[in-house]
Structure 1
């Protein structure tokens, strides 16, 4: 079982943004930018392009209102979407508020936010949904 499956099942706490029968969205605890959100399918699939066509289409439709809510909650030019998939063997999508392409550089230092800061960002994003 991956760490993401443990988060989905509630065995590991998370800053949940949204959830439906197929997906779980939550704040990345090692964010590139404030508001950095992960969207994970509830079915464990290692590689992004191994998910079914139907799930892939649903994934983008699930992500769209979350991205719009992030744009309202965090000052940015837009929300970037990225799939890297090397950190955890469970397909996942990153939604990151960005002002330049460099804001999607996963090799740079991650932000360190307090639990209170995470909670505030979580509440602002949820309010925009």
Structure 2
């Protein structure tokens, strides 16, 4: 059975995409820890990051770094946090989160009903920052 992330990747469920290529996508979390919280997800369904092909793993990290640099430019946080928890969905995903402190990585603080207009703006700001840095995020 397809994971919720595969359904988002295939367009069966909505997603606010900030990156798309043949190996991975990045989209905003529907329950963001902070404004601009993105998930970097391989197209191929792999449950545990330890089982990723090393080349795909490297690509996910490179895209996560680009997303983090765009978050830094767009939102000016103190740092960009990166987490691979892997407990919520059985499909590898890297959480890339603009943070000002370690408390910003606590899933207990995730927004349950984020403002749609703010989410759309975060998506647009990230895509613009990626393009400004010379990247083609592969999304409109």
Q: How many aligned positions are there?
A: 129
Q: CA deviation at 1:118?
A: 0.7
Aligned-partner Cα distance in 2 for 1:109–1:17: 20
Aligned-partner Cα distance in 2 for 1:107–1:82: 15
Instruction: Show structure 1 runs of 5+ residues with no match.
Output: none
Q: CA deviation at 1:56?
A: 0.8
Q: CA deviation at 1:111?
A: 5.5
Aligned-partner Cα distance in 1 for 2:30–2:47: 20
Structure 2 counterpart of 1:68: 69
Instruction: Provide the TM-score with structure 1 as the length reference.
Output: 0.95
**How large is the RMSD of aligned CA atoms in angstroms?**
1.1
Query: Following superposition, which runs of at least 4 residues in structure 1 exceed 3 angstroms of deviation?
Result: none
Instruction: Provide the TM-score with structure 2 as the length reference.
Output: 0.88
CA contact (8 A) 2:31 2:110 kept: no
Structure 2 counterpart of 1:79: 80
Aligned-partner Cα distance in 2 for 1:8–1:57: 20
Aligned-partner Cα distance in 2 for 1:99–1:111: 20
Determine helix, strand or coil for the equivalent of 1:107: helix
Instruction: Show structure 2 runs of 5+ residues with no match.
Output: 131-140
